[in-house]
Amino acid sequence: MRNLIARLALFIYILASPVRLFAADYDVQLAGALQQGGTAVASTNYGLTLAGYDGTNLRLLSTDTSGRLSLNIAMIGGVALALGQTTMASSLPVTLASDQSTVTTSDTATLVDDATFTPATGRVLMTGSEFDDTSPDSVNEGDGGALRMSANRNLYSTLRDAAGNERGANVTAGNGLVVDGSAVTQPVSGTVTANAGTGTFTSSDTATGIDDAAFTPATTRVIQVGFEFDDTTPDSVDEGDRGSARMSANRNQYNTIRDAAGNERGVNVTADNALVVSGTVAHSAAVSGNPNYLGVFAQADAAALDSSGVVDGDLSRLKSTLEGRLLVADDHPNRINCQLLRSTATTSTVLNGCGAPGATVALYVTDIQYSSSVASSTTGDEQMNLQGGTGGSCGTGTGVFFSAYGAANTGVTVNFKTPIKLGANREICMLHAGVGSKTVVLNGYIAP
């Protein structure tokens, strides 16, 4: 039917209780084009126009362009709802249907037993414990319960032994764990940090090595060891046992030499730190075995004596002939040979080669050869005199140590078994007042 007027109006009161609909005799005439689901409704179709009553006026309900009803869920009965958390009395009760499907919330922090936990991704829950040191309640087998903590919020923990007994550990006021030495020794591996009294003592890589393993200097670790000082009643060890080595009161390790038969042999050392060496054959006893002999370097008779590389103060090997005869010299290595020739009356004159030798040494005279063309006499100084002194011509501290008399054109030769020693740093001079040719040759050496 066309051009009809609907005589029905619906009043919708939205209360704090379920919605109620009331019919009243109000005429509502359709005006303008109607839309349904975004499509215009033909004018030949008629429908109901819904309106709401606010207590005074009728008000049309609004929709969006698709025909969906617009609702203000922030208000109920004209009263704005309080957003956020509030008390139970100010909140609307919500009842879930008994056949409601699973309600999905945010990610849970619980895990299935024995499930994998992923760090930085898996969720955790903050937990609390109970402080009760007066009368803590026990739990029954299979029950859950609250853990205990101290007043400082430190969680209580005890150790459980192999039999299931709870064992507390003793800790000193210095935070040191007390270890009972009566228990079975427990091995320790890895890095162990212990209280060293002052500071922290940290152990590192082990210094032990496998038997017969390579040792690398400056890399492989070593351990300092200590020995025992016991000179009164040192204890012996049994075969296969380990034991501490011995040392002196001055911390010097004791050592003995073990012979081929396994006997321990001590060695004798003098107070001058010289090792005492004794042969295996006594004096006047027959030689047997391999006694110690004194050996020298043997050279052929025609071979030159080699002194290359040897300087003053060096050690040098002894030399012998091929038959074992020791080669010796009957003179001094620092020998001197002095001469003087004069054809006139001679005042005190230094022999060539017999000047002052030095402050710490002296001239030693072993041989003298003298000849003269003039006969000696006892008049004045008309005889050959050898004297020592200083000043360049024996003018100071002069002293005659040898005089010789002879006929003209004769000679005198003297060899001293015991050398004549002059004073330190003294020269040798000849004095002969006779007119004629005079010759003197003197041999000796320089020594302290």
* DSSP track, 362-398: EEEEEEEEEEESS---SSTT-SEEEEEEETTTT-EEE
Distance CA 358, CA 377 (A): 35
For residue 189, pLDDT over 70 is answered with no
pLDDT confidence tier of residue 22, bands split at 50, 70 and 90: very low
Residue span(s) of the chain under CATH 2.60.120 come to 335-447
**Banded pLDDT at 158 (limits 50, 70, 90):** confident
Mean pLDDT over 142-160 rounds to: 89
**What is the average pLDDT across 332-337?**
88
The mean-pLDDT minimum among 60-69, 187-196, 203-212, 392-401 falls in 187-196
Please give the structure tokens belonging to residue 262. Answer: 């396994």
The answer to whether residue 364 scores a pLDDT higher than 80 is yes
Task: Of 112-116, 288-292, 389-393, 394-398, give the lowest mean pLDDT range.
Answer: 288-292
Q: Is the pLDDT of residue 50 over 80?
A: no
| Residue entry with tokens 């071979």 | 303
pLDDT digits (tens, 9 = 90+) for 166-186: 888 888 888 888 777 666 666
pLDDT tens, position by position, 62-105: 787 877 777 776 676 666 766 677 777 777 777 778 888 877 66
Note the residue count of the chain.
448
Query: Rg of the chain over CA atoms, in angstroms?
Result: 65
Report pLDDT for 159: 86
Q: Is the dihedral of CA 148, 150, 151, 154 positive or negative?
A: negative
Burial class, 252, CB count within 10 angstroms (exposed 0-12 / middle 13-18 / buried 19+): exposed
Place of tokens 């049309």: 60
Is there a contact between 158 and 168 (Cβ–Cβ < 8 Å)? yes
CB burial of 310-333 (b: ≥16 within 10 Å; e: otherwise) equals eeeeeeeeeeeeeeeeeeeeeeee
Helices (H), 237-336: none
CA within 13 Å, CB half, 37 = 0
Distance CA 280, CA 265 (A): 15
Q: Which two tokens stand for residue 360?
A: 């710490």
Kindly state the average pLDDT of the residues 105-133: 81
Extract the tokens encoding 35.
């839309």
Residue 108: pLDDT above 80? no
Averaged pLDDT score across all residues of the chain: 79
Q: How confident is the model at residue 277 (pLDDT cuts 50, 70, 90)?
A: confident
How far apart are alpha carbons 118 and 377 in whole angstroms?
132
State the Cα angle at 52 between 47 and 58, rounded to 5°.
Answer: 95
Looking at the predicted structure, is the pLDDT value of residue 362 above 90? yes
How far is residue 283's CA from residue 295's CA, in Å, rounded to a whole number? 18
Answer CATH for 335-447 from 3.90.940, 2.60.120, 3.30.70, 3.40.50: 2.60.120
Residue 199 clears pLDDT 90, i.e. is over it? no
228-241 tens-digit pLDDT: 999 998 888 999 89
Contacts of 20 (CB under 8 A, 6+ apart): 13
**Confidence check: pLDDT of 303 > 80:** no
Query: Is there a contact between 417 and 368 (Cβ–Cβ < 8 Å)?
Result: no
For 23-42, what is the mean pLDDT? 46
> How many Å is the maximal CA-CA distance in the chain?
198
- The pLDDT score that the predictor gives to residue 37 is 45
pLDDT at 188: 66
What percentage of residues in the chain have a pLDDT greater than 90?
A: 22
Measured CA distances, 325 to 272, 275, 294, 303, 318 (Å): 33, 29, 13, 15, 11
